[in-house]
Every structure is written in structure tokens, then in C-alpha cells.
Chain A
Amino acid sequence: MRWHTVSGMTDRSGVSLLLARYGTALALVVLLAFNFAVTPNFATWQTLNVNLTQVSTIVIVAVGMTLVIATGGIDLSVGSLMAISGALAPMIFLGNLVGIGGIPVAVAVAMFVAVAATTLLGAFNGWLIARYRIQPIVATLVLYIAGRGIAQVMTNGNLQVFKLPEFQWIGLSRPFGIPAQVIVMLFIVTLAAWMLARTNFGRQLLAIGGNERAARLSGIATGRIKIAVYAISGALAGLAGLVVIAINSASDANLVGMGMELDAIAAVAVGGTLLSGGRATIIGTLLGALVIQLVRYTLLANGVPDAAALVCKAAIIIGAVWLQERGRTA
């Protein structure tokens, strides 16, 4: 009897450990299987592209968020930074700001300036956190609030509409039949996963999240790395902002990136990254975003209203965090 209890317990903790590690992947497989069986026209190139297109901006931002969370921080400003980059780029390539020669040059300058601006703003977040030891949630709240305001002031609150293939390839073109932003997303995911596993920067940022005192005493420049991580998060948010306005053929500072910070955090959490820092998985974040997206698609495709889908999303997040805790204590 006693023996039985003991072995039963080890089995259970083994299962919860496996669930914590591969739960997200498993959920994805279950969802796919369910859809293949139930949802009409699921197994089409069209469906795949729709889902990937919708998820790509979330994944791009969530990759930056994963790195930030890995250091034990959080970045609430990403949605507002998307609005800033989304407002800035059209102002340049539409010639409202400065007149620049040919269209391709103007587009290149616009994209560069927009992403550079959000990178700097991200670095500013990191600087507040590293230099003044402000809690990340408070430090990034500054730009969460002010950022969208800046974007609205820059555009006078006006909608910027454009039709410019030289720019919109990033959201609309399909090389080899794959949407461009999906290629961008996969490139960023691969690069970030490699960086986290193989470079000094990646290991050091994880060390900071795992034990900042130990990292500092080991000679790691904790401040510089934090600034860099928030700058990367800002850069990726800027890029995602460009993708969003390219898809919409318009930029509305009130709407671009609205609520993105929470979608990104949700993807990171569901993906299995430890929210307290020190353990992170980029692939997990990709899977997490896909699971959330697919649940929403499944419900919508089967006639469940969007409001109910939101409740399901919340349930998934709670489930994921619960599994994570179980896996940690087991």
C-alpha cells in the first residue's frame, strides 16, 4: 500500500514535469488534430497563411518580450512603440517630414529611422531600469502612456493613408507563396533562439534573470546588458509596427499596437518562459503565440463569438502558468 503511494507520486510529478516542458507543443498538436477533424476547410494553404499572417507581429514583439522577461523584467511599452514607428515611417516616405529623392530611398530611410527611433526609446527604458533601478513595470509604463501620445501628436491624430508597394511588401508580398512577414518572423525567431543558446550575450542575460547578484559578482556588465535587451525589444516593436501599417495601408496612432504588450506577455507565459526570469525559450514563445492564435481561430471558425474566445485565452494563460509552477516544484 505504502509502496503503491510512493510510486504513484513519482509518476505524477514525472507527468507534470513532462507537461510543463512539452505542454505547449502538446496543446498545439491537440488543437491541430481537433481542427483537421472538425473545422471545415482547415487543411488548406489559405488557412495556414491567414493564421501565420495574423500571428507574426505578435511573435516578433514576443521574441523581444521573451528576452526582457528572461532578465527578470517586463516591457509594457511595446504597443506604444509600434504606434510611434507606425506614425513615423509614413511621415517620412509620404514626404510630410522632409522631402527625400526617389521613393525607394525615402522608404529605406523611413524604415530605418522608424526602427532606430524605437530602438533608442527601448534603450531609454533600459537606462531607467539599469541606472536608476526603477522597477521595469514602472519604467516601461512611462512610454506605455507617453509613447502613444507622442505618436498622436506627431500625426495630429490624423489617419495616414498610403498605397506604396515599395514599402508594403513587408506586409503584403508573398515570396514563394509565403507571406513576407512570416519569413521575417521565422528569421527573427531563429536568430534569437540561436543567440540565447550560443552567445555570451544570451547566457549572460539569462544569468542576470537567474541571479543578478551572482552575475554582477562574476564581472558581467549587468547594466549594459539590460539596456541592450530593452533596446532589442524596442527595435522588434518598431519592426512589428511597420508590418501592421503595411498590411492596413494606413497608420492610425490610436490603434497600431493597441494591447500588443499583453498579447506578447501571454505568448511568453504560455510558451513556458519563467516570468520571474532566468529561464526562457524562444521556440516556446512561438508555440505559445500559435496556440493562442489557433484557439481563437478554432472558436471563430466554429461560430463561437469573439467575446467567448477572450475568456478561453485567459483560461489558457492560467493553465500554462499553473503547469509551469507544478513543473518547478515537482
Chain B
Amino acid sequence: MSSPVLSMQSINKTFGGIAALTDASLQVEPGEIHALIGQNGAGKSTLIKVLTGYHQRTSGEVTFEGRAFEAASPRAAQEAGISTIYQEINLVPQRSVAENICLGREMRRFGLLDWPGMRAEARRLLARFKLSIDVDQPLSQLSTATQQMVAIARAVGFSARLVIMDEPTSSLDDREAQVLFTVIRGLKAEGISVLFVSHKLDELYQVCDRVTIMRDGRTVQVSRIDETDKLTLVSTMLGRDVARTEGRTTGFGAPSRAPGEIVLRANGLSDGRHVRRVDLEMAEGEIVGLTGLLGSGRSETARLIFGDTQTLSGTMSVAARPYHPSQPADAIRAGMGFCTEDRKIEGIVPDMSVADNMMLALRPTLGRSGIVDEARYRQIVTHFIAALGIKCTGPSQKIRELSGGNQQKVLLARWLAMSPRLLILDEPTRGIDVGAKDEIQRLIRSLANDGLAVLMISSELEEVVEGADRVFVLREGLSVADLPRDGLTEAAVLSAMAHGVGHD
């Protein structure tokens, strides 16, 4: 067996005392297509950035083509033969294909740009990828997939020995992805290795030879992909033993009421990108779990329901009446609330007070002709601070000074103050300490017991399995399973994530 083209052993990386990588390893053989997978925060990107010189490792050994390797910068890594292709295409759309390919390494003759030389170079390079494109055409006139190919051609050039692709198919449709796979196989045939990062499991089986799975900054499994079934991939990635039985670890508790009338029904929702066909149904007093792997379209589905993005096809109804939101204000009028996944970017207004943040949605309905009824305002705010146990020095404290759990409670109160009938919670307990987590989970259940319909998106399996009364599983933008509370197990959810039970 030949020696590996890349070997990273015992890699450690800490950021300000916090370990991002602990004893991580990665080994890629010549001409191998190697998959690197893991959840958010598993350390994939950090490992790649250490390799490409974006970060410097704290300790560990790296050899590339048999020699000790340490890239001082991404440019140095590129020159050594490691090319990286990112999700977004980093090219100049207005300029020609040839210009884009030769950007940064322009050929010169007599001190002037050598256009014929560059065009010929671009044509030669594209021919290697079996692409026949007019190199004088502006890049923006090509399809996304072809642009992606140009980006790959440019990155690979003539000297790359290892190509890193970070979710290269996320902006491609199925047919375009197939073209990309052909190119990848072509690279393999030439002995070039590819490190392929993706969340779409089916793709891994189509092109990859081996897979490295990371979790919590460690390499937890390396195996041949054709000897590993999807269920093992998913459960290893999430760190769940399929056969394991366990006691409750969350604060939800059992429902005290049966589901009531149907509040929301969605059929065949699609946004044309991440959500392809999603069906949902939610009743009063029900916690509905919406889950799936990263990139399965969970949050995007929530955005469609809340009117933040527009549906391309599909229908929705709220309380049996047709519902077509064109902006969040429409969803709010229909009785919905939405706590987003990222509190900092989409939730809090950091420079505003706890009170102003809490009343952001309700304020317009208070008082007459746009002037705030201060007394009512203060009364509502103090009520929610007490009811949810929000720890702050008072209603006028700036929200950015609060802990994550307390910020989340303020955002919950923002919607609860509206007396909604449907609340969408995207990762409601992410980044919140254990105590506050338990408290928020208990609160969600008691709200449901009072008749609220809750759509809870979570990538934490136990939260979904123990908290939800009904679970919808998404896979690559499709609803693949609708699991009732009875007999809901982690194994069932995992299996649906991996294989798509109930999917035709």
C-alpha cells in the first residue's frame, strides 16, 4: 500500500483555553475521495482550517506527501498543492471565464497582460475537466453548476494534489450535482485526492471511498463507506447508541391534555432550494418536533411558515382557513410567534432594554395613535419578568448584559405577550446552561398544556424524543416520517433521519 498523501495525527487546537480539537486525526490516501462528516461544532472546519494554514495547531503532527507540513497561510497551502473550494463561489461574475481562471496569476509578456496566453491556459485547464466553455464569456452568464466547475478548475489548477470541498453541492440541484461528481471522479482517476465535506448522506455513498466522522473535536470513527450503513453514520455523528435505553434527562414532563383542533396544516411546502416537499400538521396543545440532520431544511421550513421567505409551491392553512404569509407581520396577525435559532443575529436588539426587547412585537397594539401606554407597558413587562423568572436588575437593563438563558426567556416573553396560538421555537435550548435548559423545557410543556401549539426544531435527539407529542423528520428537504408519541424512540428517529422511513 502506498503512503498516504495527507496524514494528520493527534491534532490539538485550543481557542483561549477552550479545546476545539482534541487528539483529532485524518488520513487521506492518494487518489482517494474521503468524506469528513460531523454535526455543527464537531470540529470539521477547525481541522480543515488548521490544515490550510488559516489557524495554527496547538500541537500534533501533519505530513503531506510524506514530508512534515506546516502551512503558514492559506496561500502557502495552495502553493504546496492543497486547494480549497468553499460553499460560495468566490469569483468575479462580471469578468470573463479566462480572467477568472487566471485571476491572481496573470501571465505577462513585455510587461503587458498576455491575453492569448491566458485564454489558451484557461482552455487547457477546462479541457482537463471535460468542459468546453467559451472562455471569453462573462462568468455570470453560466449556470451555477458551471460556475462551480470553473471555480474548481481555477482552484485545482495544474498542481493540486489534494482538493478540499466544503459542501460543494449546497447550491446545486440534483443534475448539477451529478456533473460535479463526474468531475470529482475524473480528479480521482488522475490520482488527485479529494476531501469531501457534506451533510447529504446519499452523496457520500455515491462518490466517497472512506469516511472520517468527527464529534466534539475528536475523530470518532474512520471506515470504508461501503461497509458502513447510514444508521451507523448518523448515530456515530450524533453520539447516540441506537440500542441504548435511558431515563428522562429533560424537563418536559408528560402532556396533561389531548391535542385539540388542528391549528396549522402544511402540504407540499417548497422554497425551491432547501425545502422541497414538506408536510406538517399541528394541533392545539401539542408539541410537534421537527428534526433532521443539518441541511435537511428544518429552519428553512420554519421561515416559510412564518412568512420570512416565500413558498414556491404548496399550501398552508391556519385553523382551517387558507394562509399565505408574505411577510412575518402576516404570520403574527395569524397568531404565530417565532424564536429563531440565532438569538444574537435575529432575536435580540442588543442595545435596547429588556422591556423594549420584550415588547417589540406587542408594542404597536398598546395605547392609542402610536403613543405608548406606559402604565400598561410596565405592568406587562414586570408580569413576564416574574412569571418566567427572568434574572435581570430591572426592566431597563440592557438585554446584552443578560445570560443566554435569560435572553431566551425575554424572547419567549416577546411572543407570549401576544397570546399566540402557535409558537415556533428553533433550537430553544441551544447555548443555554443546564439549569435554564430544564426550566425552559418545563415552560414549553406548561404552555402546551394551556393550549398553545408548539413547533419545536431541535437537533438534540433527547429533546425531541422526550418533549414532542408528534415528530416530523425531514431529510434533504423532504418530509420522510411522521412519528406519533407512542413508541417514539431515539432509534426510530435516527433511522428516519438516515433512511427515511415512510418515504415512498
A residues at B contact (CB < 8 Å): 198-201, 203-204, 206-207, 210-211, 213-221, 274, 278-279
Contact = CB atoms under 8 A, between A and B. Distances in A.
A211 B338 CA distance: 16
Nearest to B361: A218
B309 to A, nearest CB: 12
B363 A200 contact: yes
B410 to A, nearest CB: 12
Given A217-B340, A218-B414, A203 B351 contact: no
Nearest to B364: A200
A217 B328 contact: yes
Given A213-B346, A214-B346, A198 B372 contact: yes
B371 interface: yes
Contact of A207 (B352, B372, B374): B352
Interface residues of B, number: 28
A217 B338 contact: yes
B360 A220 contact: yes
Interface string B357-377: 000110110010011101000
B172 to A, nearest CB: 26
Given A219-B328, A278-B351, A200 B360 contact: no
Given A217-B340, A219-B329, A211 B361 contact: no
Contacts of A218: 328, 332, 360-361, 414
Contact of A217 (B308, B351, B352, B370): B308
B30 interface: no
Interface in B354-406: 356, 360-361, 363-364, 367, 370-372, 374
B348 interface: yes
Contacts of B472: none
Nearest to A216: B328
Contacts of A274: 351
Given A198-B372, A199-B372, A213-B346, A206 B352 contact: yes
A104 to B, nearest CB: 32
B367 to A, nearest CB: 8
B415 to A, nearest CB: 9
Contacts of A210: 349-352
Interface string B302-334: 000010100000000000000000011100110
B125 to A, nearest CB: 36
Contact of A214 (B327, B333, B349, B367): B349
B350 A278 contact: yes
Interface string B251-293: 0000000000000000000000000000000000000000000
Nearest to B336: A219
A204 B360 CA distance: 8
Contact of A219 (B332, B340, B345, B352): B332
Given A207-B349, A207-B356, A219-B328, 15 more contacts: A198-B371, A200-B367, A200-B370, A204-B363, A206-B351, A210-B349, A210-B350, A211-B348, A215-B360, A216-B327, A217-B338, A218-B414, A220-B360, A274-B351, A278-B349
Given A200-B363, A278-B352, A221 B329 contact: yes
Given A216-B328, A217-B328, A217-B338, A211 B371 contact: no
A41 to B, nearest CB: 43
A278 B351 CA distance: 6
Contacts of B308: 216-217
Contacts of B364: 200, 204, 219-220
Contacts of B340: 217
B347 interface: yes
Contact of B350 (A200, A201, A204, A211): A211
Q: Which of B306, B351, B363 has the most CB of A within 10 A?
A: B351
Contacts of A198: 371-372, 374
Contacts of B306: 217
Contacts of B347: 211, 214
A204 to B, nearest CB: 8
Given A207-B356, A218-B328, A221-B329, A200 B349 contact: no
A301 B346 CA distance: 52
Contacts of A217: 306, 308, 328, 338, 340, 346
A215 B349 contact: yes
Contact of B363 (A203, A221, A278, A279): A203
Given A200-B370, A207-B356, A218-B360, A213 B345 contact: yes
Nearest to B371: A199
Contacts of B371: 198-200
A217 B340 CA distance: 9
Contacts of A278: 349-352
Task: In the A-B complex, list the 4 residue pairs whose CB atoms are closest, starting with the nearest.
Answer: A210-B349, A219-B332, A219-B329, A218-B360
Contacts of B350: 210-211, 278
A21 B367 CA distance: 31
A199 B370 contact: yes
B372 A200 contact: yes
Contacts of B367: 200
Contacts of B356: 203, 206-207
A213 B328 CA distance: 11
A279 B351 contact: yes
Contacts of A207: 349, 352, 356, 360
Contacts of A211: 345-350
B360 to A, nearest CB: 4
Contacts of B332: 218-219
A214 B360 contact: yes
